[in-house]
Amino acid sequence: MSSFLRSAETDQKPLTPVSAEGQYRPVSSHLAIAPPVSVVIPAMNEAENLPYVFKTLPEWIHEVVLVDGNSTDDTVAVARELRPDVKVVEQRGKGKGDALISGFAACTGDIIVMVDADGSADGAEIVSYVSALVGGADFAKGSRFANGGGTDDMTPVRKLGNRVLTTVVNAKFGARYTDLCYGYNAFWRHCLDQIALDCNGFEVETLMNIRVVKAGLKVQEIPSHEYNRIHGVSNLRAVRDGFRVLKVILRERSTRHKRPARPAVITGEAS
Ligand SMILES: Nc1nc2c(ncn2[C@@H]2O[C@H](COP(=O)(O)OP(=O)(O)O)[C@@H](O)[C@H]2O)c(=O)[nH]1
Ligand SMILES: [Mg+2]
């Protein structure tokens, strides 16, 4: 877990790519990092969007783990064509939460970034998340409502629901979040042991956000812009999934965080 920073002076030599611990990855003109970064992409029928998503991913990432939610289109074939080294996890259960848990278990990087497959997230922002993590944060949480963030994708109903749920979580758990239900986040792998995820659906981000606070982890919000889904329609249903989120909030409030008997396991085969 180390990083290397250099000043912006122009007369400096280029970043030296090798450290005592291994390879430094030049991430930008001012930052190089030692930890490998895994990107997890949950995807259900996103073949048309994957070309846009993969195009924005930085070339310095260590691996891409795509979790296929039993897609009936060419999601997996397109992913493999775009990126022959992609690690595909076939999801056995159902839901985005289940997909992410399987994907996290398949990651080999020290840093894990969650990116949606609908074209709404810009991979160029990954550098901001990774910078926060190598700068000392445990969990880098995207926010569409922090200064510098934004959304083109949220309906007024979703905005209102998200705002209410964010306020409830802040009040109940002592958090200071500006955005609760957002899927673009990154964290050090060790966080997984502390938050021991056990959920299936779109409530997964809320559960993560609550458990990192309960675990006393250092959370930093990262301003992020959510673009419109490029093709297809959202799988989220505002009322149904809003209630699922609320249920998680109430459950987490009334229970001390218990680690499940066994850690999150990969339910598919990485290939
Ligand atoms: N593997 C998998 N991915 C899913 C599932 N449900 C949603 N996703 C993916 O999760 C991401 C976010 O879902 P989306 O439908 O765009 O919801 P929204 O962003 O909240 O509107 C997209 O990349 C979806 O393909 C699922 O059951 N399995
Ligand atoms: Mg979306």
The string of pLDDT tens digits covering residues 114-144 is 999 999 999 999 999 999 999 999 999 999 9
Torsion sign (Cα): 72, 84, 102, 210: negative
For ligand 1, atom 5, the nearest C-alpha belongs to 96
The CB of 230 under 6 Å from ligand 1? The reply is: no
Same domain? For 190 and 99 the reply is: yes
Same domain? For 90 and 213 the reply is: yes
Residue 261 within any structural domain of the chain: no
Same domain? For 181 and 237 the reply is: yes
CB 131 within 8 A of CB 223: no
Residue 173 within any structural domain of the chain: yes
Task: Give the range of the structural domain holding residue 3, as residue numbers without chain letter.
Answer: 1-33
Ligand 2 centroid to 23 CA: how many Å? 34
The CB of 158 under 6 Å from ligand 1? The reply is: no
Q: Which ligand 1 atom is at minimum distance from the Cα of 43?
A: 25
Q: Which CATH number characterizes residue 214's domain? A: 3.90.550.10
Same domain? For 28 and 69 the reply is: no
Residue 138 within any structural domain of the chain: yes
Pocket test for ligand 1, best of 39, 41, 44, 239 (most atoms within 8 A of CB): 44
Q: Which ligand 1 atom is at minimum distance from the Cα of 94?
A: 27
For ligand 1, atom 11, the nearest C-alpha belongs to 116
Residue 171 within any structural domain of the chain: yes
Residue 198 within any structural domain of the chain: yes
Same domain? For 49 and 24 the reply is: no
Residue 239 within any structural domain of the chain: yes
Residue 264 within any structural domain of the chain: no
Portion of the chain with pLDDT greater than 70, in percent: 86
Same domain? For 15 and 121 the reply is: no
Same domain? For 73 and 187 the reply is: yes
pLDDT bin (cut points 50, 70, 90) of residue 7 is very low
* C-alpha separations of 161 from 141, 152, 179 in Å: 19, 16, 11
Same domain? For 143 and 128 the reply is: yes
Using the predicted structure, report yes or no on whether residue 31 has a pLDDT greater than 50. yes
Pocket test for ligand 1, best of 235, 244, 266 (most atoms within 8 A of CB): 235
Same domain? For 4 and 70 the reply is: no
Same domain? For 8 and 50 the reply is: no
Cα-trace Rg, the chain? 18
pTM over 0.75: yes
Q: What is the pLDDT of residues 47-67, one digit of tens each?
A: 999 999 999 999 999 999 999
Q: What is the pLDDT of residues 60-115, one digit of tens each?
A: 999 999 999 999 999 999 999 999 999 999 999 999 999 999 999 999 999 999 99
Q: Which ligand 1 atom is at minimum distance from the Cα of 116?
A: 23
* C-alpha separations of 256 from 91, 167, 181, 195 in Å: 29, 21, 22, 12
Domain count, the chain: 2
CB 226 within 8 A of CB 184: yes
Same domain? For 112 and 221 the reply is: yes
Same domain? For 242 and 177 the reply is: yes
The CB of 69 under 6 Å from ligand 1? The reply is: yes
Residue 237 within any structural domain of the chain: yes
Closest by CA to 264, choosing from 1, 64, 67, 71, is 67
Lowest-pLDDT range of 35-44, 152-161, 164-173, 253-262? 253-262
